[in-house]
Amino acid sequence: MSIGIIVQARMGSTRLPGKVLMEINGKPMLDHMIKRLQVTGLPIVVVTSCEKRDEPIVSWCIRNGVNYFLGSELDVLKRYFDCAINNKFTTIIRVTADCPLIDPFQLLRCFYTYEKCGYDFVTNRGPNTRYPDGIDVEIFSRKLLWEAHTNAYNPLDREHVTPWMLRHTSILELPCLEDYSSYRYTVDTKEDFDLVMQLFKRIEETKIFGTYEEVICLMNEKTEEII
């Protein structure tokens, strides 16, 4: 079995264009995310589009020795399938570049669960999730990815990669003892980005790694910086 983390990245976000390369503590958001993912020891590929506006992502990958793959801008499902075939991945771990505080230990927990459970799809952010929005992980087999690529015709299914899979297979949602689903630190807007910058600042000040439990503790701090 060949496992790979495929990071979906683009510059053309409607609400916050160029967000993946916006700087936090002097480094692009994508840089922070990749460094956290490298803790897992798993292969990482950044998938972006062939469009000119995404060339800065490619340039960043080349400068930093990060593997990348180019594909269709709108047919992200095909982009994932082609990337998986090109890299001979039989198990795909999907994450998106707007989650710079991704928790690699949570990702590994999802992966170990996937290995043992016999499901073709494991996630911590399903319909009944109890996890915060900002550590999203989806793990699925290349077989299921191929089925989606072959059978999905709706443009939304092709743009968002996994909706067809979620409708056509049994999924396993990672259990969580407490309900943290009201917490959100993914980056869609400038306000989101400002919050994440403050969280990174507090992580550095308190000398912690920033697991999702630690980030939630920081968000519960009664300080003007975080609230």
pLDDT in tens, 112-147: 999 999 899 999 998 899 999 999 999 999 999 999
Q: Rounded CA gap, 70 and 74, in Å? A: 12
pLDDT the model gives residue 223: 47
64 — phi, psi (to 5°)?
A: -105, 10
pLDDT in tens, 86-97: 999 999 999 999
pLDDT in tens, 187-211: 999 999 999 999 999 999 999 999 9
200: amino acid identity, one letter? F
Global pTM exceeds 0.85: yes
Q: Does pLDDT of 52 surpass 50? A: yes
Domain ranges of the chain: 3-186
CATH number of the structural domain 3-186 = 3.90.550.10
How far from each other are the two terminal CA atoms of the chain, in whole angstroms? 44
Contact 49, 10 (CB under 8 A): yes
